[in-house]
Amino acid sequence: MGRGYKVEERMIRLLTMVTATGTALLTLTVSSPAGDWHIGSSLVCSECHVIHYGPEGDPEPGGPFTYLLSYSTTNGLCLSCHDGRDPAAPDVLSSVTMYQHSGDEYSAAGYFSGTETGSDSAHNLGVMDLVPLRAPPTNMALSCASCHQVHGSPNHRNLISDPDGSGSGTSLTPGVDVFQDTPPAVPPTPEGSITAYRQSNVGYRSNLSAWCAECHNLLSSNEPGVPPAHFRRHPSEVSQDVSGGHTDPSHWLAGEGWGFGSATGDEVEGVPRVRFQEPAAVDYASARAVESTNQVFCASCHLAHGGRYRSAAIWPYKEAVADMYSPCQQCHNQ
Residue 150 sits in the site that holds ligand HEC (CB under 6 A): yes
- φ, ψ at 122 (rounded to 5°): -155, 165
Q: How far is the CB of 11 from ligand HEC (least distance, A)?
A: 17
CB 192 within 8 A of CB 176: no
Q: Which helix (H) or strand (E) holds 20?
A: helix 2-20
Of 169-198, binders to ligand HEC (CB under 6 A) are: 184-185, 188, 192-193, 197
Q: Which is nearer to ligand HEC, 24 or 45 (CB)?
A: 45
Residue 302 sits in the site that holds ligand HEC (CB under 6 A): yes
Q: Which helix (H) or strand (E) holds 179?
A: strand 178-180
Of 20-28, 260-268, 277-285, 308-316, the window that binds ligand HEC (rule: CB under 6 A) is 308-316
Residue 209 sits in the site that holds ligand HEC (CB under 6 A): yes
Residue 133 sits in the site that holds ligand HEC (CB under 6 A): yes
**CA atoms of 130 and 118, how far apart (whole Å):** 12
Of 217-236, binders to ligand HEC (CB under 6 A) are: 219, 225, 229-231, 234-236
Peptide bond into 228 cis (omega under 30): yes
Of 86-105, binders to ligand HEC (CB under 6 A) are: 86, 88-90, 92
Peptide bond into 262 cis (omega under 30): no
**CA atoms of 202 and 138, how far apart (whole Å):** 31
Q: How far is the CB of 21 from ligand HEC (least distance, A)?
A: 27
Among 107, 153, 155, 195, binds ligand HEC (CB under 6 A): 107
Helix 2-20 × helix 22-30 angle, to 10°: 150
Residue 299 sits in the site that holds ligand HEC (CB under 6 A): yes
Q: How far is the CB of 122 from ligand HEC (least distance, A)?
A: 6
Residue 270 sits in the site that holds ligand HEC (CB under 6 A): no
Residue 264 sits in the site that holds ligand HEC (CB under 6 A): no
Which parts of 195-252 are beta strand (E)? 202-204, 238-239
**CA atoms of 74 and 271, how far apart (whole Å):** 36
Among 12, 18, 26, 45, binds ligand HEC (CB under 6 A): 45
